[in-house]
Amino acid sequence: MKTAVSRAVRGARNVQLRNRFVSTTSSISSIHTPILRLPAPSLLKSTLHSRTFTSTTRLREKQDQDDDDERKWSTPLAKQLAQAIELTGPIPLASYMRMCLTSDVGGYYTGALEEGRDQFGLKGDFVTSPEISQIFGELIGVWFLTEWLAQGKKSTGVELIEVGPGRGTLMDDMLRTIQRFPSMSNSIDAIYMVEASPELRQTQKNLLCGPDAPFTESKQGYHSVCKYNSIPIVWTETIKSIPISPEKQPFIVAHEFFDALPIHAFQLVSVPPSQQQRPNSSPSNQITSPTLQWREMLVSPTPPNSTHESLNTPPSQSRLTPPPDFQLTLSPSPTRHSLYLPDSSPRFRSLKQSVGPGALLEVCPDLSLYASDFAHRIAGSPSSPKPKPLGAALILDYGPGDGTIPTNSLRGIRKHKRVSPFAEPGLTDLSVDVDFAAIAEAATNASEGVEVHGPVPQGVFLELMGIKERAEVLVKKAGKEEGRKEVVENAWKRLVDVGPGGMGKVYQALAILPENEGRRRPVGFGGDVVN
């Protein structure tokens, strides 16, 4: 009976997976990455009990052998991704990343980690700047204060919006700082936190509002009241759930958010004439020379019984994890993404001439969506015009600051070590280098009412904001407290370190502001405080 049931599960699972995984966007013009939704184990169980089967002894023996030979996957998510790929073929890297990070079945930020452990801090997988020093969040709060001053000290209608708030540490440090300036603090109508993880939402609420504060749900999201000045806080799963109003002044912060957005990866190849001929074409229309075409890098399972050695896991990646379950393969023919995304920017199109065959390209459609949304909130859009641009967005993340297009930047992080991004899906954090030039391009294309400053290295930004001076104040306050001075000193210096791989060099800061014909630079980008 065990083998018959196993076969029933496989059959039912294939039907369910086909229904869930074959969904794609309806038009090639859409830049949303298809979301692959995996069937919950409970669905498989209910299907199992709804059917009965009979089989011969010989068939049972063969199926028993099939079950014994079934490949062992490193995580439940890896197994279900493999089942999906078996049905639909290799999937885009963006789909793989989205599932690994936010799947409702075992995603990294949505429940795959064991209870009592989070992603952040020394006991997690990585440490972010707000967790290193309180000064980081304080200076971000000061930066938004200077923008509020420069834009006329609006008495009402200010909104604070954070995308990807982590534990809530950054917003907590910002609010504690802003509270010291009552005129701005009293101008804040609401705080919005864009967070997909239920666990992180609860952590943020406990920090910003208190464990005993009410936490109610509505169609828009989740609601509570901040411990600072009793400001309403709303949690949403997407920024589209936050209303856009022409009277509002949004101050938006995105810290280590864009690096987690899914990317599509492409390679430029030379296609010979024999692979380009059209059926029934006349001799005069025959293609006689190679052409350059983009091919998408797709995710497919590694061969069974693979090892780190057989897969040539790079020395830069730890081999303490199981061998990768998946690998990148080059699509033999164009995909709908390869026909559109590499032509979506002049920077991308120029690669055919400047690099030629072998050129690599990473494109993040969601990056453009968020940058455009920021610009629309600050300066309005055709569907929601704004009489006067108001607000600002500050983006801090890692990536090239010289306009270079990122390539081969996908990385996996596990317990503070670089690992294969295809090992233990759902348990491994995934991130990529941020294309800051693409953010600037998307924002300015979305609205003529904004301008972009930067990117500048994080070390430069923080030093211009006064990180050294603030650290000196904290050291004096610490007095003779054991070890406190050393902790403060080491923390701020780590944030501005410009050595190889240093946070002050690798991380960049970029600002989106109301267009002012270059008359005013923001603080931290070469400008002064305007009152």
User: 385-429 pLDDT, tens per residue?
Assistant: 999 999 999 999 999 999 999 999 999 988 778 899 999 998 899
For the ranges 58-62, 128-132, 336-340, 418-422, which has the lowest average pLDDT?
58-62
- What does the block give as tokens for 38? 């995996």
The per-residue pLDDT for 224 is 97
The per-residue pLDDT for 50 is 30
The per-residue pLDDT for 517 is 83
Residue 233 to residue 256: CA distance in whole angstroms: 21
- Mean pLDDT across 495-506: 95
Whether 378 and 448 have beta carbons less than 8 Å apart is answered as: no
Local confidence band at 481 (pLDDT 50, 70, 90 cut-offs): confident
**Which residues make Cβ contacts (< 8 Å) with residue 7, sequence separation at least 6?**
53, 55, 63
Local confidence band at 15 (pLDDT 50, 70, 90 cut-offs): very low
Local confidence band at 378 (pLDDT 50, 70, 90 cut-offs): very high
The per-residue pLDDT for 450 is 97
- What does the block give as tokens for 116? 């009592």
pLDDT reading at 124 higher than 90 = no
- Mean pLDDT across 128-145: 96
| Rounded percentage of the chain residues whose pLDDT exceeds 70 | 81
Upstream peptide bond of 455 is cis (omega within 30 degrees of 0): yes
What would the pLDDT profile of 87-119 be if each residue is shown by its tens digit? 999 999 999 999 999 888 788 887 645 555 555
DSSP-assigned states of every residue in 462-493: HHHHTHHHHHHHHHHHHTT-TTHHHHHHHHHH
Local confidence band at 371 (pLDDT 50, 70, 90 cut-offs): very high
Give the mean pLDDT of the chain. Answer: 84
End-to-end, the C-alpha distance of the chain in Å comes to 79
Place of tokens 């059926």: 279
Closest CA to 391 of 282, 490, 251: 251
- What does the block give as tokens for 202? 């609860």
φ/ψ of residue 145, rounded to 5 = -60, -45
Local confidence band at 164 (pLDDT 50, 70, 90 cut-offs): very high
What would the pLDDT profile of 225-268 be if each residue is shown by its tens digit? 999 999 999 999 999 999 999 999 999 999 999 999 999 999 99
pLDDT reading at 22 higher than 50 = no
The per-residue pLDDT for 119 is 59
What would the pLDDT profile of 48-80 be if each residue is shown by its tens digit? 233 323 333 344 444 444 444 588 998 999 998
pLDDT reading at 283 higher than 90 = no
What would the pLDDT profile of 297-324 be if each residue is shown by its tens digit? 999 999 998 888 888 888 888 778 889 9
